[in-house]
Amino acid sequence: MSTDVIVIGLGHAGCEAALACARMGLQTVGITLRADRVAVMSCNPAIGGTAKGHLVRELDALGGEMARAADLAGTHVVTLNASKGAAVRATRVTCDREAYAHAMQQTLAAQPRLTVLEGEVVDLLVRDGAVVGVTLGEGRELSGRAVVVTTGTFLSAVMHVGERQELGGRLGDAAATGLSGALRRLGFELGRFKTGTPARLLRDSIDWSRCEPQPGDPSPRPFSLRTPREGFPSRPRLACAVTHTNEQTHRILRDNLQSSALYQGAIVGRGPRYCPSLEDKVTRFADRARHTVFLEPEGANSPLVYPAGLSTSLPADVQLAFLRTIVGLERVEVARFGYAVEYDYAPPTQLLPTLETRRVRGLFFAGQLNGTSGYEEAAFQGLLAGINAGLGLRGEPALVLGRHEAHGAVLLDELVTRGVDEPFRMMTSRSEHRLVLREGNAEFRLRAHGGRVGLVTPLEAERSAARAAAIAAELARLDARHHLVALRRPGVTWASLVANDPDRPELDADLVDELETEARYAGYVKQANAAWTRRLDEHDRWQIPAGFAWAEVPGLSTEAREKLSRLAPTTVGQARRVPGVTPAALSLVLVHLRRTVPSMFHVER
């Protein structure tokens, strides 16, 4: 069997990669261990959150699918940081877990040129430095011109509950045991990371009256530009709640650390800093009297509740004991106990900015394989890997977004330039342009890119361009009438400002929100743009030729020379962000580049 693109794994990254390639006109095969487990939400039942909501909006603007699936499955929508500035406000959607997977599976099944195949990939076929296909577990070979690997937490995965261990990347699912060896034989470096998930609680055993209700937004807007406002949300809303651990909880945890797989030394992989296990939190933050627990129902027809914040790999009896010390959970019953998963990942410095591997042409890595954590980070990588695999096969220029264009671009740049030493989570603070990379303007920043690659229709791109023009025209009109200063004052809205203005245009509510934000952020945006211009003047986007001899740059420290040679940055900006490259070292690089390859010095305007 022969195809254009093979996608290995159909989790959140794989679904986006496969859909992107098929929608770009390429015959695509997605290979998964189990077709009924495609797009399963392995951990929490939510999409979005701080920075993650930005990624989902950006993915949607480019033509991805995650936001639309979240809209179809959403049961609780809330805007985080609503009282803070627009740049840090973020959407979070709690989903019906089964409905989310069903929506994505239906989308894949209905997509022309996309075939879903059950099986395990055990080897990659490479010829003359380029991938040419894969080998399945039964020995069957599948030819392909590009391969996107999105294996999530399944590579040589081991699950831990206390002292008990078993192979598997998720409860009820097997591990992928053959591909790690294939990657090593091709010369790829692999490491070990770990993640975890909490127990699942029976909803009717929780005393909700003792917990703090967490209502959703009264009139939420859809996550996706493709979701009609009329009739949204379509699913019954479910109440979430908050409770907290306490000193009794912490004492049980401290008394049983010796039975944790993490503290026994059975787990060698490093876990996520920003989503640690509960026993890790109690140890690292010993001065904290309590930790917040979010109780999130997994669906209207599901008896299960996800207790966010209680990830653990302690034995089942210890889990039940500490759970019952928490207010509202005194009589809780557990349907499934929490566990940790340890798995192989590939350090992402082995990738080009396109997510194509440096070692094998046509081979792309995306998702948790690259050392990230989270559905949203995985999905954005999957979309960009799929796009670039497709563009490469079509003979078109790659899509490499600038850090000033998207939080997703910051995510990719951080991965391939700096690498990871723990599971990577995207945060708005990682972006030097965070004031201009807001959820509300993702459409206007990225829709044209989606149109260029073929994932956004011409009609959708034209509509977004018209919406952006409407905001610009009204800002110009207000400026001409000297109203912008008034609009920047606290308490003044566009509606109140133009209430008696016969020339005011008709604007959708979301455009009014963005117009007001643009007006109020204008000064900050000007400063941010000036900073970006200064960085351009500092040659951040100057291109470095392939095969540049870093060892020949005089005066470089051994550390800088080794890291630059290993990472092979393609721009001066990437070289500047490599750990260990000081301003003095960068100056030496610039002098050498100017002397040896002056023709490569250019700045994109």
- 271 vs 160, which has greater pLDDT? 160
- 137 vs 523, which has greater pLDDT? 137
Count CB atoms within 10 A of the CB of residue 588.
Answer: 17
What is the DSSP code string of 47-66? Answer: EE-TTHHHHHHHHHHHT-SH
Question: Percentage of the chain with pLDDT > 70?
Answer: 94
pLDDT confidence bin for 603, thresholds 50/70/90: very low
Residues 208, 227: Cα–Cα separation, whole Å: 32
When mean pLDDT is compared across 221-235, 259-273, 368-382, the lowest value belongs to 259-273
Three-class DSSP category at 132: strand
Give per-residue pLDDT as tens, 235-270: 999 989 999 999 999 999 999 988 876 555 555 556
Residues 129, 181: Cα–Cα separation, whole Å: 18
pLDDT of 584: 72
pLDDT of 287: 87
CA nearest neighbour of 201 among 300, 297, 326: 297
H or E element in which residue 7 lies: strand 2-8
Residue 604 has pLDDT above 50, yes or no: no
Prior bond of 198 cis (ω within 30°)? no
What is the DSSP code string of 344-397? Answer: EE--GGGB-TTSBBSSSBTEEE-GGGGTB-SHHHHHHHHHHHHHHHHHHHTT--
Say which residue the tokens 């800093």 belong to. Answer: 273
Residue 162 has pLDDT above 90, yes or no: no
When mean pLDDT is compared across 321-325, 353-357, 394-398, 542-546, the lowest value belongs to 542-546
pLDDT of 211: 98
- Report, as an integer, the average pLDDT of 145-174: 86
pLDDT of 605: 36
Average pLDDT, the chain: 91
Residue 314 has pLDDT above 50, yes or no: yes
Count CB atoms within 10 A of the CB of residue 485.
Answer: 11
Residues 175, 168: Cα–Cα separation, whole Å: 4
Residues 376, 52: Cα–Cα separation, whole Å: 6
pLDDT confidence bin for 177, thresholds 50/70/90: confident
Give per-residue pLDDT as tens, 479-532: 999 999 999 998 899 999 999 999 999 999 999 999 999 999 888 777 766 765
- 566 vs 187, which has greater pLDDT? 187
Are the C-beta atoms of residues 12 and 381 closer than 8 Å to each other? no
pLDDT confidence bin for 444, thresholds 50/70/90: very high
Say which residue the tokens 């009109």 belong to. Answer: 477
pLDDT of 41: 96
pLDDT of 538: 61
Question: Percentage of the chain with pLDDT > 90?
Answer: 70
CA dihedral 110→115→118→121, nearest 10 degrees, is: -140
Residues 318, 315: Cα–Cα separation, whole Å: 5
Residues in contact with 264: Cβ distance below 8 Å, sequence separation at least 6, in sequence order = 163, 258
pLDDT of 272: 60
The dihedrals phi and psi of 8, each to the nearest 5 degrees, come to -100, 110
| Residue 401 region by backbone torsions, left for phi larger than 0, else alpha for psi between -120 and 50, else beta | beta
**Distance (Å) of CA 90 to CA 41, 58, 82, 86:** 20, 12, 8, 9
- E strands, 81-209, are 90-95, 114-118, 121-127, 130-136, 141-149, 158-161, 164-167, 191-197, 200-202
Are the C-beta atoms of residues 95 and 231 closer than 8 Å to each other? no
Residue 60 has pLDDT above 60, yes or no: yes
Geometric angle at alpha carbon 49, from 48 and 53, rounded to 5°: 50
CA nearest neighbour of 349 among 188, 193, 580: 188
